[in-house]
Amino acid sequence: MTVENKTLVSVRIYHEDTDSGGVVYHANYLRYMERARTEWLRDRGFDHDRVAREAGILFVVRSVEIKFLRPARLSDLLVASAELVKINHGLMVFDQRIMNHDVELARATVRVISVSVSDFKSVGISDQLKQDLGVNL
């Protein structure tokens, strides 16, 4: 689901997501955030394969700053969000959150860069692709 420049994705917590105490393993929050960013792109009519094929670029995570605030537990129904807050040249910055109802469990700033499919060197995001993605930042 898209709300303005934000995409929301529901995530149910299963045994495979948790440790022996039924608490979500910390690295899984990154997986949920990845799903939200992927859906952010899909909500705008693209997927990673299409961008690679048509624009010749891949989006890769450069850095993540994450804060774990509260635990998620077995059977919780969470919402992962991705909101683009900045874009310039070949860098996109996302504000990402994991929520359980109105309780924030984790938040992250994720920096994604665009690289060339052929050599994985950093490249800019064209103005046309920005426009096609509906980016007005």
Active-site amino acid positions? 19
- Using alpha carbons, select from 50, 43, 137 the residue that is nearest to residue 93: 137
Give the separation between CA 35 and CA 12, rounded to whole angstroms: 13
CB within 8 Å of 75: residues ≥ 6 apart: 12, 13
- What would the pLDDT profile of 32-74 be if each residue is shown by its tens digit? 999 999 999 999 888 888 889 988 999 999 999 999 999 999 9
pTM of the model: 0.91
Write the CA distances from 85 to 62, 78, 130, 136, integer angstroms: 16, 22, 13, 10
Question: Is residue 128's pLDDT more than 60?
Answer: yes
2-132 is a CATH 3.10.129.10 domain: yes
Question: Is residue 137's pLDDT more than 80?
Answer: no
- Domains of the chain, residue spans: 2-132
- What would the pLDDT profile of 82-111 be if each residue is shown by its tens digit? 999 999 899 999 999 999 999 999 999 999
